[in-house]
Amino acid sequence: MSKLFEILQKIKSKPGMYIGRASVSDLFHFLVGFKTALRELEVKATEEEMDFYQEFQPWVQKKYHVSTSNSWAKIIMLHCGSEQEGFNSFYRLLDEFQNRDKSLEPQRKVIASYEVTNKS
């Protein structure tokens, strides 16, 4: 299991121990710090982690039909009455995100560049 999803499961079961309270905003800030720490320690993200880091935000925006520069946590909070409800919604959304049918998503194009040298 990846470090990201391992810590997310720990937070889900004992949020007070890791982030102080069951709060989607506090969870978001924790995850930003967690990602930064791993990057600083040069820990490579797994494919599953990269999927979350790169695709969760646009997936949440699409799910809620919004186009915004606000974080996924703020988008979730727009549809919840409390931080606790937002926290619970995050985990429902995460489960749905992880179990989505990726074959229905448009594939990102990978563009390669090549250097051409003239040998004359």
Share of the chain above pLDDT 90, in %: 73
- Which residue, 48, 90, 97, 95, is CA-closest to 73? 90
Extract the tokens encoding 46.
């797994």
Confidence of residue 115 (pLDDT cuts 50, 70, 90): low
Contact status, residue 98 vs residue 47, Cβ threshold 8 Å:
no
Once rounded to an integer, what is the mean pLDDT over residues 35-48?
Answer: 92
Once rounded to an integer, what is the mean pLDDT over residues 48-74?
Answer: 95
Confidence of residue 31 (pLDDT cuts 50, 70, 90): very high
Q: Alpha-carbon dihedral of residues 44, 6, 29, 68, nearest 10 degrees?
A: 80
Extract the tokens encoding 97.
């995100």
Contact status, residue 2 vs residue 49, Cβ threshold 8 Å:
yes
pTM of the predicted structure, to 2 decimals: 0.81
Count of residues for the chain? 120
Extract the tokens encoding 64.
């809620």
Measured CA to CA, the distance from residue 3 to residue 88 in angstroms comes to 21
